[in-house]
Structure 1
Amino acid sequence: MSKKKLLVYGSIILSMLFWSFSFVWVKIVYLIYNPITTVLLRLIISSILLFIIGKGIKKLQPIKKKDRMQLLLLAFFEPFLYFMGESFGLQLVSSTLGAVIVSTIPLFSPIAAYIFYREKIGIMGLVGILISILGVSVIIFNKNLNLIASPTGIALMFLAVAAAVGYSVVLKNMAAKYNPITLISYQNLLGIALFLPWFFLFDFHDFIYAKPNIKVWIALLELAIFASSLAFILFTYGINHIGITKTNIFINAIPVFTAIFAYFVLDEILTFQKMAGIFIVICGLFLSQAKLNFFRK
C-alpha cells in the first residue's frame, strides 16, 4: 500500500476513533450542561481553533456566491440537525445503542446516492439494510418484542442518521471545490448561528447557574478539538480521495469502539444481547458493500 493510501485510510480511522469517543465524552458533559449548550460550546471552541489554524496556514478559501446556499444546507444537516438528533437522543439511550444506530449511516447513503446521483445500488446493499435493521432490533427489543430503549431516543438518533446522509449528499459536491478546513470552519460558524436562538430560548438560564468541574471542561475540549474539528477534517479528506461509500464503510467500527470505551469509562454494561446486535449490524454493513448490481443506470 502506498504512503498516500496509508495517509488516507489512517485519517479516516482516526476520525472514527474520535467520533466513537464523542459518545462517551458527551455523557460526561451532560452531567452539567444541557444538549444545546453542549453543542454550542463545542462549536464555538472548534470555530475559534479552526479559523486560527486556517488563517495561520493560509488554507481558508473564499466561498463563491453560487455555493453559499449549499454551504448553508451543509451546516443545516451538520452540525444543526444531526446534533439536535444525536444530542437529545443520547439523553435517552445508552452510548453503545446510539453508536449502533449511527453506524447504519453507510446503509442509507447509497440509497440517497441513487436518488440524487443515479448511482448503482447493489442487491447485497438491500440485504445488508435488512440484516442491520435486525441487528438494531436485537439491541432495542426484548424477547417479548417490547422496546427496552426509549422510542423517542431511538427516533432522535435516526433523525441524526438522516441528517448525516443528507450531509454526505451535499458534501460530495462541496468537497470537490473547497479544502476540508474551509468547509468545516464555515460549517461550524453557521452552526453557531443556527443554534444560538435555541440556546437563548431553552438553555440560557441553566447555563448561567451551571458549575462545570475540570472533568466536564476536559470532555468539552475533547469534543470540540477532536470530534467537531479534527474528525470532520479527516473525514472530509477521506471522502475527497476515496468517495462517500468507501469512506462511510469505516463508520462500521464506531459501535465497537464506543462499546469498549463506554464499558471502561462510563461502566456501561456490555451484555451478550448488545454484543450480538453489534455483530449483526456490522455483518449487514459489510454485506451492503458487495458488488452485485440490482439497480442500473
Structure 2
Amino acid sequence: MQFGEKLAPLAIVVGVITVSFSAILVKLSSGEPGVIAFYRMFFSALILLPFFMKGHLKEVKLLKKKDWLITFAAGTLLAFHFILWFESLQYTSVASSTVLVTMQPLFAFAGAYFLFNEKISAKAIISAVAAISGSVLIGIGDLQVSGMALFGDVLALISCAFVTGYLLFGQSVRKHLPLTTYTFIVYSISAVVLFLYVLIKGESLGPFETNDWLIFLGLAILPTLFGHSLFNWAIKWVSTTVISMAILFEPVGAAIFAYFILDEAVGSAQLTGGMIILLSLGFFVLTIKRIKVS
C-alpha cells in the first residue's frame, strides 16, 4: 500500500472538518456577504499565486477563446454562489443553509440531464424526490420561525444551483488544464467579479478588526484551499463516490460547530428534513457514482 493511500482516509476526515467551518466563519464575521466572499476568493488566489507562477504559467497557453469564456462563466457563477450562500446565512441557520447547499448532486444531474441528455435511473429519481421533500420540510419548519428564515433557505438553494453551474461549466476545461492552474484562474476571475459587485453595491472593504481579517484568511485556507484541496488530493487513491459521501457530512459537522460556537439549536423540522436529505443524497450518490468534487 502506497504512503498516499494510507493517508487518504485521514485527509478526507480533515477535509470534512475544515469545510464544515465555512458557514461558522461567515457567521462570525462582521463583514457584508459580498465583502466576505471577495476576500475569501482574493486570499485564495493570492496564496495560489506563487505555485501558479512557479510551474504553471505556461499552461495558460493551453486555453482557447472558448475555454476563457467557459472559465469566466464558471468564475462568475462561483462568485454569486458565495454571495447568495453567505447572504442566506444572514437569515437562516447554519444547519438549514448548509444542508440545502449540499443538494448539489441533484442540481448537477438535473443539469446533465437537460444539457447533455444523460439518463437517470428510477432509483435516482426516487431519492431525488425524497431529498426535495426533506428540503420542503426544512422550509416549513423555518417558515414557522420567520418568513426571513424561509427566504434564507431559498437563497441557499439558488446558491446551490449556481455552484452546480460552476462545476458543469468548468469540467470541460479541467480535462486539459491542471487543477492548480484552473483553480487559480477561476478564483482570480471570481475575485474580480466580487470586487466589482462590492463597488457597485457600495459595500465597505474596510477597515476591519484583526478578528475579521483572520476570518477572511481562515475562509481561504480552511474550506477553500485546505478542505477541497485534500479532497482533490485523496481522489487519486479513493473513488469519487467515497469523496461524495464524505462531503455529505459537512452539514452534520457545521451543525455541531454551530451548536457549540454560535449556540444555534437544531429544530425538529430541521433535524428530520436534514436527515431525509442526507440519507436520500447518500442513496443518490451510491446510485449514480459520478459526482465531481469541487
Query: Per the alignment, in what secondary structure is the counterpart of residue 251 of structure 2?
Result: helix
Partner of 1:16: 16
- The answer on whether the counterparts of 2:4 and 2:237 sit within 8 Å (CA) in structure 1 is no
Q: 2:135 is matched with which residue?
A: 136
Which residue of 1 is the match for residue 292 of structure 2? none
CA distance in 2, matches of 1:164, 1:137: 21
* Partner in structure 2 of residue 38 of structure 1: 36
- Aligned-residue offset at 1:242: 7.2
The corresponding residue for 2:176 is 177
Decide whether aligned partners of structure 1 residues 241 and 203 sit closer, same or farther in structure 2, where only a CA change above 3 A counts: farther
The 2-side partners of 1:147 and 1:126 are apart by: 31
TM-score by length of 1: 0.83
Instruction: Single out whichever of 258-267 and 113-122 deviates more from structure 2.
Output: 113-122
CA distance in 1 between partners of 2:217 and 2:284 (Å): 36
Q: What is aligned with 2:72?
A: 72
Q: Is 1:251 matched up with 2:240?
A: no
Asked if 1:27 corresponds to 2:27, the answer is yes
Matches within 5 A, 1:129-208: 129-142=128-141, 146=144, 148=146, 150=148, 151-204=150-203, 206-208=204-206
Aligned with 2:248: secondary structure? helix
Distance 1:118 1:8 in 2: 34
Matched with 1:268 is 264
In structure 1, what residue type is equivalent to 2:256?
A: I
Give the match for residue 289 of structure 1: 285
- The one-letter amino acid paired with 1:52 is P
Aligned partners of 1:127 and 1:287 also within 8 Å: no
For residues 70 and 49 of structure 1, do their structure 2 counterparts lie closer, same or farther at Cα, with a shift above 3 Å needed?
same
Is the contact between residue 12 and residue 235 of structure 1 (CA under 8 Å) also seen in structure 2? yes
Deviation sequence 1:140-171 (CA, Å, 0-9, x none): 3149x756452321221111111121122123
The change in CA–CA distance for 1:240 and 1:154 in structure 2 (over 3 A counts) is farther
Corresponding residue of 1:119: 118
Between the two proteins, the alignment pairs up a number of residues equal to 285
List runs of 5+ in structure 2 lacking aligned partners: 289-294
Q: Distance in 1 between matches of 2:40 and 2:8?
A: 26
CA distance in 2, matches of 1:6, 1:165: 31
Deviation at 1:286, TM superposition (A): 1.8
Report deviation, 1:86: 0.7
Question: Percent identity over the alignment?
Answer: 23
Question: Who is 1:54 aligned against?
Answer: 52
For residue 246 of structure 1, report the CA deviation from its aligned partner: 6.3
Change in CA separation of 1:91 and 1:191 when aligned onto 2, cut-off 3 Å: same
Gaps of 5+ in 1: 293-297
Q: Does residue 221 of the first structure (1) align with residue 190 of the second (2)?
A: no
| Distance in 1 (alpha carbons) for counterparts of 2:14 and 2:77 | 22
- The one-letter code sitting in structure 1 at the alignment partner of 2:272 is A
**1:23-54 deviations in Å (ceiling 9; x for gaps):** 0001111xx21111111122221111101233
Tell me, in whole angstroms, the C-alpha distance in 2 between the residues paired with 1:288 and 1:2.
Answer: 31
Shift of 1:273: 3.4
Provide TM-score, normalisation by structure 2: 0.84
Conserved? CA contact 1:106–1:249, under 8 Å: no
Query: Residue 83 of structure 1 corresponds to which residue in structure 2?
Result: 82
For residues 149 and 20 of structure 1, what CA distance do their matches in structure 2 show? 26
Q: CA RMSD in A?
A: 2.9
Say if 1:166 and 1:38 are closer, same or farther in 2 by CA, change over 3 A. same
Shift of the 196–217 alpha-carbon distance from structure 1 to 2, 3 Å rule, reads closer
Contact 2:141–2:270 (CA under 8 A) maintained in structure 1: no
